[in-house]
Amino acid sequence: MGTFCSVVKFENLQELKRLCHWGPIIALSVIAICSTMAMIDSVLWYWPLHTTGGSVNFIMLINWTVMILYNYFNAMFVGPGFVPLGWKPENSQDIMYLQYCKVCQAYKAPRSHHCRKCNRCVMKMDHHCPWINNCCGYQNHASFTLFLLLAPLGCIHAAFVFVMTMYTQLYNRLSFGWNTIKIDMSAARRDPVPIIPFGLAAFAATLFALGLALGTTIAVGMLFFIQMKIILRNKTSIESWIEEKAKDRIQYYQLDEVFVFPYDMGSRWKNFKQVFTWSGAPEGDGLEWPIRRGCHQYSLTIEQLKQKADKRVRSVRYKVIEDYSGACCPLNKGIKTFFTSPCTEEPRIRLRKGEFILATRGLRYWLYGDKILDDSFIEGVSRIRGWFPRNCVEKCPCDTETEQAPEGEKKNR
């Protein structure tokens, strides 16, 4: 009893509130519907338990469900790991390289960023995911990625069961009208007859579950490949945008320097091991990170400070070249834009051709920024903030929030 009380603390019970959100409710509902229907279809109408294959199939379905839920709840309740309140580096001289968070009353450790939803500075923050109602970061990156892998695999297995159930049950009931077509379905005939007949309600439920399984396989599978891509490069979505702005800053001012991302170990396998370990715990403490040769521990934070000081690269100016309705997953903007829609609660911006946008961060096919409501580009004016497709805008020639610097000033800076 004492052990149970030590595990179930008040803070842990408070974490259960994360379940009271549309993201976890939808995600857990999809998991429950697909796994339950797959087990019912398999046992009653497709592959009975009294056969060896049916028993193995049933155990595999249970195994998928358990592993998916284990990694899902790990990602949700273990969390990304937060920078301790009041944290500062051991060496006081390193403070000059770090930004200070007024909310957390602490310095932002390398690779950490403040999340407005969690209201804390998150270690190695990638994004805030509404489906787990938590951030994806240092501690739960592996569990989150495993969930993205296991969910499509489990749904593929479930979809196979759904298709075979409908095929075997409906074969003798449908008349195709072609006498020349003969298919041997003796293996699909059940003996004894199922206790519950495969009626219209069962068919509708199986068809609905099949749609959920296929949709989940495509959507979550795309997210898995995106996550694996950044893991193999040892980057986060935020760091990819910082790197893009760094290259833009160097090109604009014609600087004789090259920005090298400091946390890429130069090997995909080494980058992979930064997240996935045999112990299940990621390498390091989330505050200090191994860096590649020739880089500084604070190379990325120094670049952030440069961008913060440079008013021009805080946001990149874009002109709208194509209307956008503000849809979450627009079908008319390309299949890649449709499937890579950001998984976030942040809104989308409705765009009209000729408007101007100030992008502050982005993904490969999406950008996030502000739409200015008047004709002025002065700080402090009213703005609408949110996501919009990258292929609806083009970068302005001057690419600046203020007047373009003279040619001589570019080189001097």
Phi-psi label, residue 329: left if phi above 0, alpha if psi -120 to 50, beta otherwise:
beta
Longest dimension (CA), the chain: 88
- Distance (Å, whole) CA 318 – CA 13: 46
List of residues 6+ apart from 370 with CB closer than 8 A = 315, 357, 358, 360, 383, 384, 385
Distances (CA, A) of 205 to 16, 33, 46, 171: 30, 9, 15, 18
Contacts 24+ apart (CB under 8 A), 226-232: 226/340, 227/144, 227/145, 227/148, 228/145, 230/126, 231/141, 231/145, 231/271, 231/272, 231/274, 231/275, 232/268, 232/271, 232/272
Task: Write down the pLDDT at residue 213.
Answer: 96
Set 115, 121, 129, 136: catalytic member = 129
Per the DSSP assignment, residues forming a β-bridge with 87 are none
Q: How many CA atoms lie within 13 A of 325 on its CB side?
A: 7
* HSE-CB of 302 using CA atoms within 13 angstroms: 10
- Strands of the sheet containing 316-320, edge to edge, are 383-389, 366-372, 356-362, 316-320, 393-395
Tokens of 273: 């091991």
Q: What local confidence, expressed as pLDDT, does residue 192 receive?
A: 57
Q: What per-residue confidence (pLDDT) applies to 13?
A: 61
pLDDT, residue 407, reads: 39
- What does the radius of gyration of the chain's CA atoms come to, in whole angstroms? 26
Q: Are 353 and 325 in contact (CB under 8 A)?
A: no
pLDDT, block means (10 residues), the chain with 413 residues: 42 75 94 95 84 91 96 93 92 89 92 91 92 93 96 96 88 52 46 70 93 95 92 90 83 82 91 89 87 85 80 73 88 85 82 87 84 57 78 74 38 39
Q: What is the pLDDT of residue 221?
A: 94
Residue 67 token pair: 């592993």
Q: According to the model, what pLDDT value does residue 29 have? A: 96
Residue 387 · residue 348 · CB < 8 Å: yes
> How far apart (Å, rounded) are the C-alpha atoms in residues 105 and 103?
6
Does the annotation mark 343 as catalytic?
no
Q: Identify the CA nearest to 48 among candidates 184, 202, 165.
A: 165
Pairing state between β 134-136 and 127-129: antiparallel
